Amino acid sequence: MSTEKMDIPEEMQSTLVPEIMEPETEFKFRCHKDISCFNACCKRTDLTLTPYDILRLRQHLELSSEAFLKNHTVPFEMDAHGTPGIKMRTDNEGACLFVREEGCSVYEDRPSSCRLYGLGSLAKHDQGTSGEHFIHFKNKEAHCKGWDEDNTQTVKEFTAAQGVDVYEEYNKDWMRLMLKKKSAGPSIGKPSELSLQLFFMASYDLDRFKRFIQSPSFSKIFTLDKAEFDKICSDDLELLKFGGRFMLHVLFGEQSVPVVENAAEKRYEERKDIIDMRYKAEVEAHNIKAEELKKEALRVDDDRQDDGHDADSCHDKSCK
pLDDT digits (tens, 9 = 90+) for 92-103: 999 999 999 999
Separation between Cα atoms, residue 48 and residue 171, nearest integer Å: 13
Give the chain's mean pLDDT: 82
206 neighbors 240 (Cβ within 8 angstroms): yes
Minimum mean pLDDT among 11-25, 35-49, 128-142: which range?
11-25
pLDDT: which is higher, 300 or 133: 133
Instruction: Return d(Cα 235, Cα 228) in angstroms, integer.
Output: 11
Q: Per mean pLDDT, which range of 123-132, 183-192, 200-209, 268-277 is the poorest? A: 268-277
Please report which confidence band the pLDDT of residue 69 belongs to, taking 50, 70 and 90 as the band edges.
very high
> What is residue 121's predicted lDDT score, i.e. its pLDDT?
84
What pLDDT, on a 0 to 100 scale, did the predictor assign at position 229? 95
Contact 144, 118 (CB under 8 A): yes
Tens digit of pLDDT for each residue in 108-120? Answer: 999 999 999 999 8
List the strands of the sheet with 73-77, edge to edge.
Answer: 48-49, 84-88, 73-77
The answer to whether the beta carbons of residues 115 and 163 sit under 8 Å apart is yes
- Verdict on whether the full-model pTM lies above 0.85: no
Rounded mean pLDDT, 106-134: 82
**Residue type, position 145, single letter:** K
Contact 224, 217 (CB under 8 A): no
Is residue 239 scored above 90 in pLDDT? yes
Among 112, 101, 5, 133, residue whose Cα is nearest residue 54: 112
